[in-house]
Amino acid sequence: MPASKKPYFSIRSSATHGHGAFAVRKIRRGTRIVEYQGKRTSWKKALKRPPSDPNDPYHTFIFGLDNGKVIDASLDGNDARWINHSCDPNCEAIEEEDGGVFIYAMRTIQPGEELNYDYRLSVDGKPSKKERKRYACHCGSENCRGTMLDV
């Protein structure tokens, strides 16, 4: 298999949260790693679905789009849904003009390193302490905000 066709990452257990995506080869800064895929739907419909993990109801595979819709990776999603949050990320999610969401390397990522991006989740109004706790961050970085919320 040519190097360009080899996957950039594999999924395995993560100390950050359940499963994670780990580089299987060097990923250079600026590389488009993967598209975030899933069912495109409205927030209203996505929020009516049962949680993807009943034991962790605030664990989400929903990615909000600029047009007000969402990508729900719990339905027809790919392995991009396993990329965890970090307050000090090595990747970024970029919504392109065609509405596709792609994960790009912000710096060179070494084999074995976990891929992550800053989720910057939002809630209506100012997040309460309870909401901040619901969306607690476990990235362990020096810059950790303690929450995956965009505060």
Q: Burial code of 57-84, b = ≥16 C-beta within 10 A, e = fewer?
A: eeebbbbbeeeebbbbbbeebebbbbbb
Contacts for 110 with CB less than 8 Å, ≥ 6 apart:
23, 26
Contact (Cβ atoms closer than 8 angstroms) between residue 63 and residue 100:
no
Q: What is the pLDDT of residues 48-74, one digit of tens each?
A: 876 665 665 555 688 889 998 999 998
Q: What is the pLDDT of residues 65-99, one digit of tens each?
A: 999 899 999 889 999 999 999 999 999 999 998 88
Take residue 64 and report the two structure tokens written for it.
């909000």
Domains of the chain: 3-119 (2.170.270.10)
With CA atoms as reference, report the closest residue to 19 among 11, 27, 10.
11
With CA atoms as reference, report the closest residue to 63 among 43, 45, 44, 84.
43
With CA atoms as reference, report the closest residue to 100 among 27, 35, 17, 4.
35
With CA atoms as reference, report the closest residue to 74 among 47, 98, 100, 102.
47
Percent over 90 (pLDDT), the chain: 57
Contact (Cβ atoms closer than 8 angstroms) between residue 65 and residue 101:
yes
Q: What is the pTM of this model?
A: 0.87
1 — pLDDT class (breaks 50, 70, 90): very low
